[in-house]
Structure 1
Amino acid sequence: MKQFSITIAGGGSTFTPGIIMMLLNHQEEFPIRRLCLYDNDRERQETIARACEILLKERAPQIDFGYTVNPEKAFTDTDFVMAHIRVGKYAMREKDEKIPLKYGVVGQETCGPGGIAYGMRSIGGILEILDYMEKYSPDAWMLNYSNPAAIVAEATRRLRPNSRIINICDMPLGIMVRMAKIMGLSETDLDISYYGLNHFGWWTKVKDREGNDLMPRLKEYVKENGYDINIETDQHADQSWHETFKKVRDVYAVDPDTLPNTYLKYYLCSDYVVEHTDPNYTRANQVMEGREKEVFTAARDIIQNNTAENCGFQADDHASYIVDLARALAFNTKQKMLLIVPNEGAIENFDPEAMVEIPCIVGKNGYEKINQGRIPQFQKGLMEQQVSVEKLVVEAWIEGSYQKLWQALTLSKTVPSASVAKQILDELIEANREFWPELK
């Protein structure tokens, strides 16, 4: 069986050890010959990489492992680039969340003003990595799961339309794991129909392998509990995620013909979200004091003890979708997966140039979209508003346009007025001077 070379872009991320652990768990079906970490933050990557080096020497010494801040070294001789970068790191995420909250607006890393700010930082970083890959390994695939995926996907559609990049998100899979647990099945047993934008979509069909319709039982459960269930190994088990999964009840009630993505709560229940968010201690603070500390402490312990035996690293099971995507491209498995792709008629009564999240069949030549037909007016209206926000953000980045970014914020369903949008924008500009293009 062919062995593959992988570059992980964002090597200093707290998610990198989980990705590597998960890759090790899938060596039989997806063998790796070379694994290289790349990051532009040398010091941060050094800690994660040195720990992973010890781990790999003990558990997979056959893999050629390295890490670098040199693009040529990182992107030469690679088959897949797995990208999960966070431009500005958690310090900027904290500002994305706290600045809107000062004005009574949702503060969230991918939704509303926070997502727009993050998108304006991410576009340049993703394009840079994509250009490195195409320069040094033009036949490679970039599997991008950097947030905010919707804005990044629109930017690559506009600016790199012929690039070998596939944008994907793990949130629908995480919800499908819950659906399967509710039904007493594995998520691999589910056959689904789904449409929307990234972090902005709906399931219209959920069946088991025999074709039995699971929607009635799922709806009955969701009506009472949302997607909240007890999964001991659930990586989202902290209280804020339990509340998010429970809140799905209210989102579902707006359209009981479908099952919603959890992120729709930020758009349909924004007043509730603001009311129940501490403006001085947001999700970014939770992550910095939780996952960030835990992963880096585990990494330093491995380095200090010079062994990864009984280490604190855990496989990121949700990230198995990245291996599935890579395997489908490498071995032509024809797996059905949710991807973020140009619509081009897959949703018949929606903008053909929108980047939509729909099921696709993935093989060695890329993906084939599965037509989702026509969608109801309610979803169509919400999606048209949100996709316009995403397009305006990308246009603002390309043109350096203050006006278009103000329009994007004004159009966001989470922002109550143009005047509030302007106040938030002006403060975000100050906070992001190091990262955004200059706006005129």
Structure 2
Amino acid sequence: MKKFVVTVAGGGSTYTPGIIQMLLENQDRFPLEEIKLYDNLAQRQEPIAQAMQIYCRDNYPEVKISYSTDPAESFTGIDFVMAQLRVGLYDMREKDEKIPLKYDVVGQETCGPGGIAYGMRSIAGVIEVLDYMEKYSPEAWMLNYSNPAAIVAEATQRLRPNSKIINICDMPVAIETIFAAILGLKSRKEMNVRYYGLNHFGWWTSITDKAGNDLMPKLKEFVAVKGYAAETEDYQHRAQSWKDTYLKAKDTFALDPETLPNTYLKYYLYQDDIVAHENKDFTRTNEVQATREKDVFAKAHQIIEADSAHDISFATGSPHASFIVDLACAIAFNTQERMLLIVPNNGIISNFDPTAMVEVPCLVGKNGPEPLAMGTIPTFQKGLMEQQVAVEKLVVDAWMEGSYQKLWQALTMSKTVPSAGVAKKILDELIEANGDFWPVLK
């Protein structure tokens, strides 16, 4: 069986150890020859890479781990790129969250003004990596985790429409893992789901078991009382901010009890409540810096100093971590697995903009995703989605045209922002904060 070469773009990420371990642990279905790490920040990547080289040497000596800041070295002779870029790192994420909060507007990394700011930084980074892949390994596929996925997907579809990139998000998979726990199933793969929306902006309309039995009534009964706060081990180890998010799903569900909502909808539907409960001086970024960021790098240095990883391991994360391996296997081995992916609408949702990038179930094989038709959608969801997709399109317009006006319009149109006046104040601060990360706006 062929052994694959995979490049992890964003090698200095705290998620890199988990991705590498997940890949190594799934070699029975996705054999590996080499994992290459690529990052343009050598100092950040080096401890992660060196620790993972030791880990691989001690546990999976048949697989090579290499790392570089050189695109030619990192992207030549590869089969897949798994991209997880965070342009501006956590310093910029903190500004994405705290600048809007000054104006009592949602401060979140993928939603509202913070997501728009992050999107304006991410577009160039993702396009750069995509171009490297196509230059050095034109037959490879890029599986892109980089946020904000909705804006990145819109940008890559318009700027590189023929590229072999699939934009993905594991949040629906994480929620489906919770559904499986609520239902007493061993795995989310025991369910068939129908879902539609935009990334971080969607709804489940049907969940059945493999025999076709409807599982929605039992789920709805639970969600109406507890949201998605299932008493699983994963839930118990979550930060309080995540626990609050899972509980809030109860209120979002109440708006449309015919469907089950993506957790991120809370930022658009309960903006005032979210802001009222935020600590404006200690946001999610600070929480991550004090925990995950600190812990992962400390463990990396511990492995390097000991020159051993026999008794040290990084947590691979929650059960949905294998999602990206499922996707790689579907492409490599034409498995036709059913997965939620972000694709051009093109009639999938028949009463919605055909050019919009929507998140829907797809059958995945060697030629990429084949979306399943969703038919028409109700007025409530359609109206919300039309507003949000217009925001995403305006952001990409602003990036491509260097247009201050278009970005102001995008912020004004976001359901998280109360007025054009507030939008302008936030925009002007974001421009100053982002400096060279953004194109010059005129």
Q: Provide TM-score, normalisation by structure 1.
A: 0.99
Do the aligned partners of residues 350 and 105 (structure 1) sit closer, same or farther apart at CA in structure 2, a change above 3 Å counting?
same
Identity %: 65
Cα distance in 2 for partners of 1:384, 1:305 equals 54
For 2:170 and 2:413, locate their aligned partners in 1 and report how far apart those are by CA, in whole Å: 27
Equivalent in the alignment of 1:45? 45
Partner Cα separation in structure 2 for residue 233 and residue 282 of structure 1: 21
- Determine helix, strand or coil for the equivalent of 1:55: helix
Deviation of 1:233 (Å): 3.7
Distance apart, 1:236 and its partner CA: 6.3
* 1:320 partner letter: S
Distance apart, 1:320 and its partner CA: 0.6
User: Which of residues 302, 322, 325 in structure 2 aligns to 1:323?
Assistant: 325
* Structure 2 counterpart of 1:306: 307
Aligned position for 2:181: 181
CA contact (8 A) 2:229 2:246 kept: yes
2:337 is aligned to 335
TM (norm. structure 2) is: 0.99
Question: Is the contact between residue 72 and residue 136 of structure 2 (CA under 8 Å) also seen in structure 1?
Answer: yes
Cα displacement string for residues 126-155 of structure 1 (whole angstroms, at most 9, x for unaligned residues):
000000000000000000010000000000
Which residue identity is paired with 1:310?
D
2:375 alignment partner, SS class: coil
Q: CA offset at residue 234 of structure 1?
A: 4.7
Q: Which whole-Å CA distance do the structure 1 matches of 2:321 and 2:398 have between them?
A: 32
Note the 1:45-64 alignment, pairs <5 A. 45-64=45-64
Amino acid paired to 1:422: K
Q: Any stretches of 5+ residues in structure 2 without a counterpart?
A: none
Contact map agreement 2:235 2:243 (CA 8 A) in 1: no
Instruction: Summarize the alignment of residues 156-175 of structure 1 with structure 2, pairs less than 5 Å apart.
Output: 156-175=156-175
Counterpart AA for 2:199: N
**Are the aligned partners of 1:295 and 1:312 in contact in 2 as well (CA < 8 Å)?**
no
Correspondences of 1:364-403 after superposition (within 5 Å): 364-403=366-405
Question: What is the Cα deviation at residue 62 of structure 1?
Answer: 1.2
**1:413 to 2:415 alignment:** yes
Separation (CA, whole Å) in 2 of partners of 1:29 and 1:327: 7
* Residue type at the aligned position of 1:62: E
How far apart are 1:312 and its partner, in Å? 4.0
Give yes or no for contact 2:209–2:215 (8 Å, CA) kept in 1. Answer: yes
Q: Residue 231 in 1 paired to residue 250 in 2?
A: no
The answer for the alignment partner of 2:247 in structure 1 is: 246
SS at match of 1:339: strand
Tell me, in whole angstroms, the C-alpha distance in 2 between the residues paired with 1:236 and 1:335: 30
1:98 maps onto 2:98 in alignment: yes
Matched residues, number: 440
Shift in Å, 1:165 = 0.1
SS of the residue 2:233 aligns to: coil
Moved more, 337-346 or 307-316: 307-316
**Whole-Å separation in 1 of the counterparts to 2:172 and 2:55:** 30
Contact 2:229 2:235 in 1 (8 A): no
Shift of 1:395: 0.4
**Residue 152 of structure 1 aligns to which amino acid in structure 2?**
V
Please say which of residues 179-188 and 225-234 is displaced more in the overlay: 225-234
Q: Please report how far the alpha carbon of residue 367 of structure 1 lies from its aligned counterpart in structure 2 after TM superposition.
A: 1.2
Gaps of 5+ in 1: none
**Secondary structure class of the residue paired with 1:205:** strand
Structure 1 stretches of at least 4 aligned residues deviating more than 2 Å after TM superposition: 233-236, 316-319
2:293 aligns with: 292
- Distance across 2 between alignment mates of 1:319 and 1:237: 15
Deviations 1:36-78 (A, max 9, x none): 0000000000010000000011111111220000000000000
- 1:423 maps to 425
One-letter amino acid of the counterpart of residue 127, structure 2: L
SS of the aligned residue for 1:106 comes to coil
Which deviates more, 402-411 or 55-64? 55-64
**Aligned 8 A contact 2:56 2:64 in 1:** no
Amino acid in structure 2 at the alignment position of 1:245: Y
Alignment partners' CA distance in 1, 2:162 and 2:238: 39
Partner SS state of residue 95, structure 1: helix
